Chains A and B, each alone.
Chain A
């Protein structure tokens, strides 16, 4: 994500695409003397950032370190005792609980499955929506609708729709549809990936649509003159030009998939046979239903580690692709 803004400052003079930045760099700056030192600095004071830092620190950073600490404690909420137990929670979670590795495995399935469903669909829909026909504008209006529902609302809706007695299977009984959408352990993971996609694809499609609209039309005109067809233009112009949108959207999708707790909790509660008990849900059940806060915190720390690793990975990947595609685009 850091890279999103970087190229503006680094490669400005070479880039013919950035006249604004290039102007800025060349224009003389007569009035202000160069950076003063010490107290007389020109920038705003740190006081400006204090409210954000304080709120973020107290309610996000402190809990982040707190969760690491609690993972080494035996915290009995009912008796009110706190005891340092070293790595014993970690040992329990990683070796004694058969759930943890299963939950980790399911999380990987869920994140990968969600990404493979959401990314191509959102990309294609976004490109489609960016086209000119009027009916596409109407479709775009309707595509937005899922964003207006809370995850609980979506959960309750699909719970009814997938109900064996009152749902789609009952209404279309002449079709060979399964009627155990949510109670079949082999099916429920696919159902969850689909429902989560239903909720989030519209948002990502919107991002891609906005990204496509920013691509200069002259690129397509030139490509058309060169005899490139639609498919060729898609791969040679649209995709490379969408790289920042792609990174933003992928980061939000992947880190988001790690935290899709609400829907899964509402729709299944982890059952049947814990077939969708992914890490966030496992953590919630262990912490707030079974009152094993130490164990739950271990799971939470694992979640944080995965989240940070994913973001860093995306940053590194996007950093390397950025340099290449900047040259190609210029």
Chain B
């Protein structure tokens, strides 16, 4: 009791000392940002400023931004400039030469490969996972539960641990050094988590909806496409965005399962650029910046959907 009282008494003081503007900002924010129509209330239940969170928040911002700032300003430098001037101050003579060099080295080709691999993988993962989730949640037979348990164990299998047999399997199937070698195994390793997330949603669809559709004579496909798919849309977004990030940024599968320039994807191309450009740090970092631009563009356009999509399924 005494503890509670003393913290209450201290918190507002400490907060105002550090950041006097905060309470005012809080009141504004509640109107604009308050969850689900609570905007009419005068204030959120606790409006004493979150001092610890605030300090951590700003410190963390610095930690996040510094490396990004560094690669961006460095990518506009020349090599000579990097050696001669302070590395954390933007150059006085910015140049686009580094970007030109990267683009001339087949950047768009690698980009296209990444697009193909990511879209195919995610599309197949979504299709097969939603069907499996439908079976798992609605199956009345013994198999559904067993299948779910097996798939849950799959989450714990570290991808690295199976890369050696996957390498042989891919060679045996004659798929080594093709885009298929990247797509098929990544689908497999995306399935467990995807099924888990989608199952959590499909499970919440009321039984009555399934039953009424059955009574109306709907078949499995009809139920899947007009009931399960629309109702599990948040889960599908979560899975789609999360797995797209994983596949787009994945490095181990391309490193082990492909070799030639024709099927190189972006993360591997960065690795190769580094070898090719050698000590030309600005050119390497220009490639890093270019490789992040497509996702940055996607994030700027669809930020709301991306963040909502990422969190919807995981927070279930």
Query: Which stretch (A86-94, A96-104, A162-170, A318-326) binds chain B?
Result: A162-170
Please pick, from A52, A163, A209, the residue contacting B195 in the complex, using a CB distance under 8 A.
A52
Kindly state whether residue A31 has any CB partner on chain B within 8 Å.
yes
Question: Is B251 within 8 A of A151, CB to CB?
Answer: yes
Q: Do A136 and B57 form a contact, CB below 8 Å, given A59-B189, A210-B312, A221-B45? A: yes
Question: Is A56 within 8 A of B191, CB to CB?
Answer: yes
From residue A26, how far is it (CB to closest CB) to chain B in Å?
12
Kindly state whether residue A48 has any CB partner on chain B within 8 Å.
yes
**With the chains together, A104 CA to B268 CA distance in Å?**
28
Query: Which chain B residues border A134 with CB–CB below 8 Å?
Result: 25, 28-29, 32-33
**In the complex, which residue of chain A has the Cβ closest to the Cβ of B219?**
A44
From residue A171, how far is it (CB to closest CB) to chain B in Å?
4
From residue A55, how far is it (CB to closest CB) to chain B in Å?
5
Query: Which chain B residues border A203 with CB–CB below 8 Å?
Result: 310
Question: Is B203 within 8 A of A229, CB to CB?
Answer: no
Question: Is A300 within 8 A of B285, CB to CB?
Answer: no
**In the complex, which residue of chain B has the Cβ closest to the Cβ of A288?**
B256
**With the chains together, A121 CA to B64 CA distance in Å?**
13
Question: Is A152 within 8 A of B203, CB to CB?
Answer: no
**With the chains together, A217 CA to B41 CA distance in Å?**
11
Question: Is B70 within 8 A of A157, CB to CB?
Answer: yes
**With the chains together, A233 CA to B4 CA distance in Å?**
10
Kindly state whether residue B164 has any CB partner on chain A within 8 Å.
yes
Question: Is B57 within 8 A of A128, CB to CB?
Answer: yes
Question: Is B86 within 8 A of A171, CB to CB?
Answer: yes
CB contact list, B70-102 vs A, under 8 A: 70-71, 74, 82-83, 86-89
Question: Is B160 within 8 A of A303, CB to CB?
Answer: yes
Question: Is A157 within 8 A of B288, CB to CB?
Answer: yes
Question: Is B4 within 8 A of A49, CB to CB?
Answer: no
Question: Is A64 within 8 A of B156, CB to CB?
Answer: no
From residue B304, how far is it (CB to closest CB) to chain A in Å?
10
Question: Is A42 within 8 A of B64, CB to CB?
Answer: no
Interface string of A52-85 (1 = CB under 8 A from B): 1101101111111011001000000000000000
Kindly state whether residue B48 has any CB partner on chain A within 8 Å.
yes
Q: Do A132 and B200 form a contact, CB below 8 Å, given A43-B144, A124-B53, A296-B164? A: no
Question: Is B26 within 8 A of A133, CB to CB?
Answer: yes
Question: Is B57 within 8 A of A139, CB to CB?
Answer: yes
CB contact list, B14-56 vs A, under 8 A: 22, 25-26, 28-30, 32-35, 38, 44-46, 48, 50, 52-54, 56
Question: Is B61 within 8 A of A142, CB to CB?
Answer: yes
**With the chains together, A224 CA to B43 CA distance in Å?**
12
Query: Which chain A residues border B29 with CB–CB below 8 Å?
Result: 131-134, 136
Question: Is B34 within 8 A of A152, CB to CB?
Answer: no
Please pick, from B129, B149, B158, B312, the residue contacting A258 in the complex, using a CB distance under 8 A.
B158
**With the chains together, A202 CA to B245 CA distance in Å?**
14
24 contacts between A and B (CB under 8 A): A41-B141, A43-B138, A43-B140, A43-B141, A53-B132, A61-B154, A63-B165, A64-B165, A66-B162, A67-B162, A127-B53, A131-B53, A137-B33, A142-B64, A148-B292, A152-B267, A152-B271, A157-B71, A206-B307, A229-B4, A229-B11, A230-B50, A244-B315, A311-B153
Closest 8 CB pairs of A and B: A66-B165, A128-B53, A210-B311, A59-B188, A150-B249, A63-B165, A311-B156, A52-B132
